[in-house]
Amino acid sequence: MAIAKEQLQQIIADNDIKSVGDIYSLFKDSFKDMLQELLEAELNASLGYEKNKKEVTDTDNKRNGYSPKTVKSQFGQLTLDIPRDRNGEFEPQIVPKYQRDISGIEEQVISLYTRGMSTRDIHDQLHDLYGIELSADMVSKITDKILPEIKEWQSRPLEPVYPFIFMDAIHYKIREDGRILNRAAYVVLGVSLDGDKDILSISIGANESSKFWLGVLNDLKNRGVQDVLFFCVDGLAGFKEAIHAVYPQAEVQRCIIHML
């Protein structure tokens, strides 16, 4: 809902706004006031009457003061007064019980996950920063929500022609069932006819091999890549043969870094 220019001018004058920081503080205070009013409205609906205006109702339940609660929001920490009822029946929805983060907890978990943090790391990070107890199992359930997006990205159609494609594997270690295992992330970077760089594929294997690369190349072909002028790769045995099995006309160059 847009605010009229005259209203904005009045808000600026009434709150002595002189900087971006003042605007941020105003938003924070206004957001807190709005949440507080919504909590009061929720209790009104639960009890069936507004504060100080009790009429004949079907309930003998009454207001029973407030409990302070500090939550994290997109504007920083806020301290709210959560209204209570005598019978303990009130369950606020705008700020649910036991929830200390109202800024979009799932978005934060996914953000940490995409940075390579384990479920245990994410749990510890959220607990240390915000005091949120989120089990590793719940973190896994949240991060599972991005799997369809990952699969969609992995299978998206590609350009028919790429002048250059760079292929290499990044090696790293993971912990699985109490053991430390080696893994290889097969990364394919393409340069389009317009000169734009794009990560075409990232696949995970136990270790780097020309046989796995052959599967990656066939996947590129199935996703629409019909021709590649130059491949830039390392000196892995069988790599050149795997490329020519799928793209027989392509030139294969040794990466200068690997040559050095």
**pLDDT per position as a tens digit, 215-230:** 999 999 999 999 999 9
Given a contact cutoff of 8 angstroms between Cβ atoms, the answer to whether 201 and 187 are in contact is yes
Give dist(CA 10, CA 15) in Å, integer: 8
Q: Mean of the per-residue pLDDT values for the chain?
A: 80
Give dist(CA 114, CA 171) in Å, integer: 18
Q: What is the mean pLDDT of residues 190-211?
A: 91
Is 60 exceeded by the pLDDT of residue 131? no
Is 90 exceeded by the pLDDT of residue 118? no
